[in-house]
Amino acid sequence: MLKTRTKSKFKEFLLNQGLKSTQQRELILEEFLRAGSHLSTEDLYLRLRKKNPRIGYATVHRTLKLFAECGIAEQRHFGDGQARYEASDQDEHHDHLICVTCGRIVEFEDPRIEQLQVEVAAEHGFSIERHRLELYGFCSDCRQA
Amino acid sequence: MLKTRTKSKFKEFLLNQGLKSTQQRELILEEFLRAGSHLSTEDLYLRLRKKNPRIGYATVHRTLKLFAECGIAEQRHFGDGQARYEASDQDEHHDHLICVTCGRIVEFEDPRIEQLQVEVAAEHGFSIERHRLELYGFCSDCRQA
DNA sequence: TTTAAATTGAAATCCGTTTTCAAACGGATG
DNA sequence: CATCCGTTTGAAAACGGATTTCAATTTAAA
């Protein structure tokens, strides 16, 4: 999604919820969109501190939760005990490949897998609302080493 | 895997590692195998307390980690911030369907999905070591309600 | 037995997340 | 603008599950 589009979506959300548009929230969204995906609260907090030391961890934390609530970000857990956030691609869904050596995270999408998931769930009487698929292994760089 | 087989595998593991076979470890393994899968440390601890109040949380925690190390149990995370353990089925791998309403967890396995995962990973230069696939949705009971 | 090393359990500590609360801010209103 | 009220902020405290500490106990080898 376009950055401007995302920003206005957030502002609209704030308005609807009776929340206020503040300097911090704008800065945080700005940096969140600039930075790559899969950042932890800590990651984003540190990036923001470099440019603006007067920003608190709690605010970053709360704002990321707002992003998730608003639908412009999604929270993820990759097993290292830290929550990470990524910008949502709206309708576009994707899963993750994670290199267990270097920590590199690659996104992918495969409609065939998605289809099979629906089928398998149905066989067990389930209807799927969402799913999580993570493949852990070695990326090309780390396999050679 | 047979309970007796699992127990001897654990004893063997302890021996190899220069660790000791203790009353607590036996009790914990016994109860772990008796109880259903997907228990948190707390769950197992409480069950054990009922029968034997002289068992500590720390010991349950440490013993479950030993089980995982030994290969007779696997640690899982289902997003509620609590680690859960399940007995490993050796070669048998399975994934999970989780009902978001009642919390029911159903295990399933689909070789077609597994195969596609390997293919997709290869397309990105990855070799897979393990994966996690969780489908969240509504089970047949909860869908009707 | 005796002994050295491993184990135990209560309590303390860790560490990421979340909440508290007084001060600062946003923005609606006169 | 100036005022006011509800929202937000950030530092610090609280939280919660996981993990470690340490003195007392248990294991099993000698």
Nearest nucleotide (CA of B40 to C1'): D17
**Record: contact A131-B134, CB cut-off 8 A:** yes
Average pLDDT over residues A63-71: 96
Single residue among A54, A69, A87 that ends a domain in this structure: A87
Same domain, B73 and B9: yes
Average pLDDT over residues B72-82: 87
Closest CA to A115 of B100, B112, B128: B112
Average pLDDT over residues A1-19: 91
> Which residue range(s) make up the domain with A55?
3-87
Same domain, A71 and A99: no
**Model pLDDT, residue B90:** 65
**Record: contact B116-A110, CB cut-off 8 A:** yes
Q: What is the spatial distance between Cα B60 and Cα B25, in angstroms, rounded to a whole number?
A: 8
Same domain, A46 and A113: no
Same domain, A80 and A58: yes
Q: Greater confidence, A18 or A91?
A: A18
**Model pLDDT, residue A113:** 96
Same domain, B14 and B44: yes
Question: Is A51 exposed, middle or buried, given 0-12, 13-18 or 19+ CB atoms closer than 10 A?
Answer: exposed
CB B61 within 8 A of CB B100: no
CATH code where residue A31 lies: 1.10.10.10
CB A102 within 8 A of CB A113: no
Single residue among A71, A87, A103 that ends a domain in this structure: A87
Q: Check pLDDT > 80 for residue A65.
A: yes
Q: Check pLDDT > 90 for residue A95.
A: yes
Same domain, B104 and B77: no
Q: What is the spatial distance between Cα A130 and Cα B134, in angstroms, rounded to a whole number?
A: 9
CATH code where residue A109 lies: 3.30.1490.190
Indicate the pLDDT class of residue A90, thresholds 50, 70 and 90: low
Same domain, A24 and A42: yes
Q: What is the spatial distance between Cα A48 and Cα A42, in angstroms, rounded to a whole number?
A: 10
Estimate in Å the CA A3 to C1' D20 gap, whole number: 46
Q: Check pLDDT > 70 for residue B1.
A: no
Same domain, B29 and B60: yes
Same domain, B83 and B134: no
**Model pLDDT, residue A102:** 82
Q: What is the spatial distance between Cα B63 and Cα B67, in angstroms, rounded to a whole number?
A: 6
Estimate in Å the CA B50 to C1' C10 gap, whole number: 18
Single residue among A87, A107, A124 that ends a domain in this structure: A87
Same domain, A41 and A71: yes
Residue nearest to nucleotide C17 (CA to C1'): A61
Same domain, A123 and A106: yes
Name the amino acid, one letter, at A15.
Answer: L
Same domain, B76 and B99: no
Report the number of distinct structural domains present in chain B.
Answer: 2
Estimate in Å the CA A78 to C1' C5 gap, whole number: 38
Average pLDDT over residues A110-139: 94
Q: Check pLDDT > 80 for residue A87.
A: yes
